[in-house]
Amino acid sequence: MNYIWLALTGALGGFLSGLLGIGGALVFIPILSYLIGQHGLEQESVSYLLANSFMVVLAAGLAASYRQYKLNNIFSKTAIAVAIPATIVALGISFLIAFWTESSTVDVKLIFKFFFLFLLVLIIVQSFWGRKSNDYDSMPQSLSFSKKVGAGVLVGFFSGTTGLGGGSIMLPLFHNTFKLKYTAATSLSSTVIPLFVLPTVFYYGLLTPQKYIMQSGQTGFICWQWVLPMLPFIVIFSQIGVKKNHEFPLWLTKLIFALIIVINILKILLL
C-alpha cells in the first residue's frame, strides 16, 4: 500500500513542481514524515526527512528545468548566481543539524516543526501581498547582484532548515518582491532548485546514521525504497505541470499554491 501512496505522491509532487516551480517538497514531506515516524528514530528523524526530501526534490527540479529548457524559458546565469550562496548556506545548516542531533538532548524535531509552521504562515502572507501582480513583467536578467546573493542566502537557510527545495520561498520572493513575470519566476525557481540541492544530497548520502532503517537499499540517510517508486511519476508529471504553467490563469496557480500551504499548516497543527 505504501508504494501506491508513494506513486501518487510522486505524480502530484511532480505536477506541482512543474506548475509552480516549488520542487514539490510540500507534498513529499507529509508522506516521508509518516514513513519515518514508523521507525522510532527520534533525533535522527530530521536528517532522514531532509535527506529523502532533498533527493526527490532534486529529481523534480531536474525534470521541470529540462522542460523549461525545451520551451526556451531558462535563465541559467541568474540561477547559478542564486544557487551558489544558497548551496553554501544550505550545506552549513545541514552540517549544524547533523551535529546538533548527535550532541544535543534538545528536541530538534519539535523545533523543526514549529519553525516550519512559522515559515509556511509567512509564505502564504507573502504570496498574496502584491495587489497588482498580474502587471509584473520584469525578467530575471534585470536582477541586481545583491538581490541574487540575498535571495540565495535566504533560500539556502529556508531549505536547510525545512527540507523544502526552496521554491516555496523563491516563488513569492521572485514574483511578489522582485516583480518578475510569473512564468519567469517559476522557471528561475525550477532551475535554482537542482543546482543547490545536489551538493546537499551528496552530503546526506555520505553520512553514517546511528540507526539504519534499511540495511540494504540505503545510502547514508537516503532510503531508495521510498525514493525510487516516486521518481518515474515525478519526471512524467512535472512535464505536464510546466505545460500547464503557461496555460493556467495566474489566480488559479496562486490559489493552488496557497491551498497546499494551508493543508500543511493544518497538518502541523492537528497531528
- Cβ atoms of 185 and 171 within 8 Å: the answer is yes
pLDDT-derived band of residue 49, with 50, 70 and 90 as boundaries? Answer: confident
Average pLDDT, the chain: 81
- The C-alpha angle with vertex 187 and arms to 185 and 193, in degrees rounded to 5, equals 100
Helix-then-strand count for the chain, H and E: 11, 2
Q: Is 271 a residue whose pLDDT tops 80?
A: no
Q: Enter the DSSP assignment of 140.
A: G
pTM, rounded to two decimals: 0.78
Find the range with the poorest average confidence among 58-62, 66-70, 145-149.
66-70
Q: Which residues of 193-228 are buried (b: 16+ CB within 10 A; e: fewer)?
A: bbbbbbebbebbeebebeeebeeeebbbbbbeebbe
pLDDT-derived band of residue 228, with 50, 70 and 90 as boundaries? Answer: very high
- The C-alpha angle with vertex 260 and arms to 189 and 229, in degrees rounded to 5, equals 75
pLDDT-derived band of residue 7, with 50, 70 and 90 as boundaries? Answer: very high
What does residue 209 show for φ and ψ, rounded to 5 degrees? -65, 150
Average pLDDT over residues 125-137: 61
Q: What is the pLDDT of residues 165-218, one digit of tens each?
A: 677 778 878 887 888 888 888 889 888 988 888 888 998 899 888 888 887 789
Best CA proximity match to 30, nearest among 52, 47, 60: 52
* Length of the chain as a residue count: 271
Collapsing DSSP to helix, strand or coil, 180 comes out as strand
Name the one residue in this structure whose C-alpha cell is 514574483. 175
Following DSSP, what letter does each residue of 195-252 receive, concatenated?
HHHHHHHHHHHHS--SS-S-SSSEETTEEHHHHTTTHHHHHHHHHHHHHHHTTS-HHH
Q: Is 81 a residue whose pLDDT tops 90?
A: yes
Q: Is 124 a residue whose pLDDT tops 60?
A: yes
Q: How far is CA 149 from CA 81, 155, 206, 244, in A?
A: 7, 10, 28, 30
Record the cell numbers describing residue 138, joined without a space.
520584469
- Cβ atoms of 250 and 120 within 8 Å: the answer is no
Rg of the chain on CA atoms, in Å? 17
